[in-house]
Amino acid sequence: MTAFGWGRQRTDRTPLEGCARGLSGRRWIALCASAEAVGMTAAAVAAKLSQYVLGGQPRGWDAALALLLVVAGGLVEGVALGAFQASGLQRLIPRLNRRRWLVVTAAVAGLGWAAASAPGVFSGDSGGDAEPALLVVVAGALGLGAVMGAVLGAAQAMTVRRLVPRPTRWVLANTIAWPPTMAVIFIGATTPESGWPTVAVAALAAITGIAAGTVLGIVTGWFLPTLDGAGDENVELTGHRTGPGNGSELP
């Protein structure tokens, strides 16, 4: 039976039980959840610290320092995601360049999250202004997730394009996975009031990260066979990639 067009594969296991050589679905989900827990906690603490620095009024060097904190928090999120993912994917792709995977993930996911967070930080406590409706928050998160997922998937796919049979399907995986992931993140990020203590904000961020990372791991886990590096030796020897299990040449 052909699953998702990945050639002949066993169908007696679910993604949670492991659908790719060397990396179980459960381990992949745990890695994504752990990465997002670390990253979201760092990003939330950085955002809270930037609010203290600004004191409700963005200006001068205080604004520059606040922006630096937000960017640093976003980069921690991106580095955590890249590092945790790379540690698992090397089981599938022994020749994976972990440093390159980490750098592109940190650049796209980290800076993307920092850019999305900065407006909220610099808006300060608006007092009487109404908060955006939940539907608006979710809609914005879905749109941002689709864009960031496509860009991140493309960047990550470029790092393994010569090592795996179908790298372009990783773009699709992230484009599908990041909208719901970002929706969970945005719901969690917009929940705390400005008066919440830093410890409470960090705790909620960790829980939000675990939930968001679980969603990311489940959805992208369905696509792990596309990153099975079984065909990389074929590329080196023949100049062509072959699909797992059926020996067919792939573009």
How far apart, in whole angstroms, are the C-alpha atoms of residue 137 and residue 46? 21
Q: Which sequence spans correspond to the domains of the chain?
A: 21-244
Phi, psi for residue 146 in degrees, rounded to 5: -65, -45
Q: Identify the weakest region by mean pLDDT among 62-71, 98-107, 199-208, 225-234.
A: 225-234
Q: List Cβ neighbours of 215 (8 Å cut-off, separation of 6 or more).
A: 177, 180, 181, 184
Whole-number pLDDT of residue 229: 56
**Unique residue bearing structure tokens 């960090």:** 202
Q: Give the separation between CA 137 and CA 85, rounded to whole angstroms.
A: 28
Q: What is the pLDDT of residues 135-193, one digit of tens each?
A: 998 999 999 999 999 999 999 999 999 998 889 999 999 999 999 999 999 999 889 88
What pLDDT, on the 0 to 100 scale, is given for residue 180? 97
Residue 36 has pLDDT above 90, yes or no: yes
Q: How sure is the predictor about 58, in pLDDT bands with cuts at 50, 70 and 90?
A: low
